Amino acid sequence: MDSVRGAVVVITGASSGIGRATALTFAREGARLVLAARREALLGEVAEECRELGGEAEVVPTDVTDAEAVRRLANRAVQLFGGIDVWVSNAGVGAVGRFEDTPLEAHRRVVETNLFGPLHAAHAVLPLFRRQGHGVLINTVSVGAWAPAPYAAAYAASKFGLEGLLESLRAELVDAPGVHVCGVYPFFTDTPGMSHGANYTGHQLDAESPFYDDPQDVADTVLAVALRPRAQAMVGAMTPLTRLGHAVAPRLMEKIAGHGAHRHFSRTPPAATSDGNLFRPVERGRGVTGGFRTPPPRLGVAPARRRGRGGGCRGLRRLRAEQERKPLRALSSGTGWSRMPARSPKPPSPSCRSRRPRAAVRPSLPLPARPLPVPPVRVRPAPARMCVGRNRGRSRASCSVSPASPPSPPCSPMTRRGWSGCSSKSG
């Protein structure tokens, strides 16, 4: 599929969170949408926004736990637009709490929504896809399909089961190359689900974190999968890292997740238990985001060398001298944590302590002029020259000096031998 313009897209759970972001994303591309959720009034608002963005949108209130309601949704989409090109199973709920403290009805409701909801959708739309010869079934799964989720056992069980369902359906559809069954795997996402989910922990669930995924990133991934279908599409960097960690060291990941959950809920303020939106819709949580995602912190402080103070201990001393003159909060605005409280700088380490200042040198009195001693001059005798020629090996005084004689004539090739008066170096 090169474009979704004019394509018929059915989205469940479209009233808020990832579903709402997905509906708006497809509307910008000119798709024809069929929006489904339990909150009919809120679905009308989303449909109006989609029309303003250039798409067509129809509303069909649906509870995905009801198989007949899901089948009516598929039939209504065919009646409105003549077929279905993309089905996005996004509806989901959660119940947070210790397993034994969570009612069995809540566990059952989570599994019915998160597992049987996509199962009902696949059972209703796959026959239509086979008749058409094409179609993309996209399911919003979770990192919970690969990693443990303490305090959310039923949620993890539903996602593990959904992963098995998708793999089995892909195996069955090998004889239908135009039909695709895909999964999108986000990490913890900043959606209103944290505010209207069921809470049986006795503590508040509101937890700000910079590691939450943006719902718009998930929606963009869903659109990319609709254009280029693939079996699995992970969102962000935390999902593949978590999957890899659980595959390499599952027992260690269980301990990390368990201790982290216990520590988190031991520090949050107490709150009353609530069923949230498990059994009936709630009014809160109407937007795309939940407001729990914080911007990532700026880590570290620039080294002294990078700030033009030089390197080593000398640069560190200069930097600390400046920090003593300025409060640390002023420096943190552009170099480190913006929330760091002002505090006095730490004393330098022993290896970088400032050296003691040298004592001032007193000016000495002028000394009386005193003649400098002149060292004796040692004259080396000239080396004795040795004689050359017949007197070789004797001193110059004992050898006889012959008067200067004219230079020898150059030798010719014929006279080079046998005549001692020619010079062998010439010629």
The residue type found at 159 is: K
Burial of 30 (0-12, 13-18, 19+ CB in 10 A): middle
Pairing of strands 8-12, 95-96: unpaired
How many Å apart are CA 344 and CA 333, to the nearest integer? 16
Whether residue 285 contacts residue 16, with contact meaning beta carbons closer than 8 Å, is answered with yes
How many Å apart are CA 93 and CA 276, to the nearest integer? 9
Backbone angles phi, psi at 364, to 5 degrees: -85, 155
244: tokens are 């890899």
List active site positions: 155
How many Å apart are CA 332 and CA 301, to the nearest integer? 8
C-alpha distance from residue 170 to each of 88, 230, 261, 295, 367 (Å): 16, 11, 35, 38, 104
How many Å apart are CA 323 and CA 346, to the nearest integer? 10
Whether residue 65 contacts residue 13, with contact meaning beta carbons closer than 8 Å, is answered with no
| Helices 215-227 & 17-28 angle (0-180, nearest 10) | 50
